[in-house]
């Protein structure tokens, strides 16, 4: 039995390392699926149990699919290019003002479309905008990476990790806002101030003024309408405590269909451009976490969390938020969030502890360039544009910006009770 547990841990660790490092440049999903298959093939996890673990993620898959459709349609219709063009135009020759406008756009897109949308579709547009304005693109690219996580607990829909962590018990909208509105404001504000200070030298010079703004097209307006209606629908179903996955998928599909019909074009290009492998990545991670649960790791974490809560809820909330932030940076916040979700389902701690874990999962990964899926997607996006940010360069920014924002956000959550 002990040998089987050790082999399971090795497979899970190797698969997680593969997701982070991407040996041979193979997609992250390849390594997660390979780890899941290895657990089943080695007899360490029954096939029925593995399939049940995959099924647990149905709501997450639907949510991600809908959001990716919305994001891709908006990208194809040039909506995000127009957002960036608007920012350049209204920066009026000030790199600092451009930085603030990009940050505001990223916060809104993250809140309404998820952090992955900000990383994937806003990043190329911001890079193009900074180039057009003849400004140093790096400070503005860091905005896309850090705001994607800093604003990702404004709403339940702002980060797929929110649904993963809470599972079938995501708080309805109004209790969510009561718990997370103040921490979100603090997180967004603290991250902005710290990042602006860290990147102050890159924002000293002027940028080009008078760049011609791109006019809104019918397709771009259709995308805006679809995003707006989706936000209204999701806020409504969240307030009614209805699962978010199916409504998100339906709204994404409806919006995409309207754009396809209006433009008289085949959906093939859009569907080919969507990163469907993300769904397989999440499914593989669900199986890996189920494998860990078979070894008793989750039971140990449940005991530790329960003992901590018995001693002090507040201290446990601080420790849990900080610990999962650290683990997310060392591994990735998706597997960390899945392990936390399994632990929470069994331990059932007070809401303040659960919420502290969510803040740690969402905001904490801003220290490491591999800490979250959104940051990995951001890194891929800037590499396509010919730029790159190494581990050390990102760490130098994240280690200064993130701990104060995380500490203040956790304090704000405990303050609201």
- 310 Cβ neighbours under 8 A, 6+ residues apart: none
- Give the lowest-confidence range in 175-189, 385-399, 401-415: 385-399
**Average pLDDT, rounded, for the chain:** 87
| Joined tokens for residue 228 | 């707006």
Q: What percent of the chain has pLDDT over 70?
A: 98
Confidence of residue 79 (pLDDT cuts 50, 70, 90): confident
- Give the lowest-confidence range in 49-63, 229-243, 252-266, 329-343: 229-243
Tell me the sheet residues that pair with 94.
206
Contact between 128 and 84 (Cβ < 8 Å): yes
- Give the lowest-confidence range in 139-153, 233-247, 358-372, 384-398: 233-247
Residues 297-314: tens digit of each pLDDT: 888 999 999 999 999 999
Q: What is the pLDDT of residue 129?
A: 80
Residue 77 vs residues 70, 148, 188, 209, 265: alpha-carbon distances, Å: 11, 22, 28, 25, 12
- Give the lowest-confidence range in 32-46, 170-184, 213-227, 332-346: 213-227
Angstrom distance (rounded) from CA 193 to CA 106: 15
End-to-end CA distance of the chain: 44
Residues 327-347: tens digit of each pLDDT: 999 878 888 888 898 899 889
Angstrom distance (rounded) from CA 15 to CA 4: 16
Answer whether residue 18 shows pLDDT above 70. yes
Confidence of residue 117 (pLDDT cuts 50, 70, 90): confident
Q: What is the pLDDT of residue 381?
A: 81
- 158 Cβ neighbours under 8 A, 6+ residues apart: 110, 111, 112, 114, 115, 151, 152
Residues 45-70: tens digit of each pLDDT: 999 999 999 998 888 889 888 888 88
Q: What is the pLDDT of residue 331?
A: 78
Mean pLDDT confidence for 82-109: 84
Mean pLDDT confidence for 132-136: 80
Q: What is the pLDDT of residue 212?
A: 66
Answer whether residue 208 shows pLDDT above 80. no
Answer whether residue 168 shows pLDDT above 80. no
Residues 350-395: tens digit of each pLDDT: 999 999 999 999 999 999 888 888 898 888 788 877 788 888 899 9
């Amino acid at each position: 039995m002990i040998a089987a547990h050790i082999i399971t841990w090795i497979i899970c660790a190797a698969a997680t390392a593969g997701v982070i490092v991407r040996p041979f440049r193979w997609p992250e999903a390849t390594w997660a699926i390979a780890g899941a298959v290895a657990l089943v093939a080695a007899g360490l996890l029954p096939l029925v149990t593995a399939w049940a673990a995959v099924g647990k993620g149905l709501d997450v898959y639907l949510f991600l699919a809908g959001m990716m459709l919305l994001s891709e349609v908006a990208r194809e219709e040039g909506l995000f290019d127009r957002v960036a063009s608007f920012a350049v135009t209204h920066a009026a020759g000030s790199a600092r003002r451009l930085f603030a406008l990009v940050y505001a756009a990223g916060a809104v897109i993250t809140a309404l479309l998820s952090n992955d949308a900000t990383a994937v579709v806003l990043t190329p547009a911001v890079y193009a905008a900074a180039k057009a304005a003849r400004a140093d693109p790096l400070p503005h690219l860091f905005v896309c990476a850090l705001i994607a996580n800093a604003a990702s607990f404004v709403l339940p829909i702002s980060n797929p990790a929110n649904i993963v962590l809470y599972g079938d018990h995501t708080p309805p909208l109004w209790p969510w806002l009561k718990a997370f509105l103040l921490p979100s404001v603090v997180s967004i504000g603290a991250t902005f101030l710290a990042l602006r200070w860290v990147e102050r030298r890159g924002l000293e010079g002027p940028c080009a003024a008078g760049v011609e703004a791109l006019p809104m097209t019918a397709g771009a307006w259709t995308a805006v309408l679809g995003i707006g209606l989706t936000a209204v629908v999701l806020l409504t179903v969240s307030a009614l405590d209805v699962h978010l996955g199916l409504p998100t998928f339906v709204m994404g599909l409806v919006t995409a269909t309207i754009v396809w019909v209006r433009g008289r074009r085949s959906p093939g290009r859009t569907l080919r451009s969507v990163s469907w492998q993300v769904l397989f990545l999440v499914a593989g991670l669900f199986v890996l976490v189920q494998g860990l649960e078979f070894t008793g790791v989750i039971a140990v974490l449940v005991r530790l969390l329960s003992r901590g809560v018995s001693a002090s809820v507040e201290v446990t909330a601080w420790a849990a938020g900080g610990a999962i932030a650290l683990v997310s940076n060392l591994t990735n916040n998706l597997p960390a969030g899945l392990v936390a979700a399994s632990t929470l389902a069994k331990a059932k701690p007070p809401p303040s502890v659960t919420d502290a874990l969510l803040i740690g999962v969402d905001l904490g990964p801003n220290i490491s360039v591999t800490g979250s899926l959104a940051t990995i997607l951001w890194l891929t996006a800037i590499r396509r544009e010919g730029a790159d940010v190494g581990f050390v360069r990102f760490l130098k920014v994240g280690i200064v910006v993130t701990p104060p924002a995380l500490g203040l956000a956790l304090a704000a959550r405990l303050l609201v009770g």
